[in-house]
């Protein structure tokens, strides 16, 4: 799942981005701007065929945290500028600028929230608590 800002041609700009993406054997929790392309938490891909997995990514001005099944598994700390999103459509299962690199699986639900969710809220969304 990926949300990006539109460029002047109406397509995703490729910089202002919030998303979860797999490249090879690595899952990235990407939160980036044109001024900040680093600081993305990453882990070996936890997805397994036939097994449901809950993924979440939170962002704040000082941290980006990647969760798997309600548990924090990777973190990037820093002083991060805000990501500028607009009405560019969120894409699920494909790379927005190219429409390629399709996800070979099923996405049950997607949520982009304007505020950082708490660890307790992530656990509840994963179906593991309260």
**Candidate from 1-15, 19-33, 38-52, 80-94 with smallest mean pLDDT:** 1-15
CA proximity to 106, closest of 65, 45, 69, 53:
53
User: pLDDT tens digits, residue range 83-111?
Assistant: 777 777 777 777 666 666 677 778 888 88
For the cut 60, the answer to whether the pLDDT of residue 59 exceeds it is: yes
Alpha-carbon distance of 112 to 72, in angstroms, equals 18
**Candidate from 20-29, 47-56, 68-77 with smallest mean pLDDT:** 20-29
CB contact at 8 A, 40 and 32: yes
CA proximity to 32, closest of 69, 81, 68:
81
Question: Who's near 10: CB < 8 A, 6+ residues apart?
Answer: none
Please give the pLDDT value at position 1.
59
Question: Who's near 56: CB < 8 A, 6+ residues apart?
Answer: 66, 67, 70, 117, 122, 125, 126
Q: What six digits make up the tokens of 90?
A: 């969120």
Alpha-carbon distance of 75 to 93, in angstroms, equals 23
Alpha-carbon distance of 54 to 73, in angstroms, equals 12
DSSP state of 114: S
CB contact at 8 A, 40 and 27: no
């Amino acid at each position: 799942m990926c949300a990006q800002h539109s460029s002047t041609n109406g397509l995703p700009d490729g910089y202002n981005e919030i998303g979860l993406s797999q490249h090879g054997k690595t899952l990235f929790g990407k939160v980036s701007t044109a001024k900040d392309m680093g600081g993305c938490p990453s882990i070996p891909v936890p997805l397994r065929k036939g097994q449901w997995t809950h993924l979440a990514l939170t962002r704040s001005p000082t941290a980006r945290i990647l969760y798997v099944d309600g548990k924090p598994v990777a973190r990037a700390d820093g002083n991060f500028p805000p990501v500028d999103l607009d009405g560019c459509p969120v894409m699920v299962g494909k790379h927005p600028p190219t429409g390629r690199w399709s996800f070979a699986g099923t996405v049950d639900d997607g949520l982009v929230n304007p505020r950082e969710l708490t660890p307790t809220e992530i656990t509840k969304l994963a179906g593991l608590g309260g």
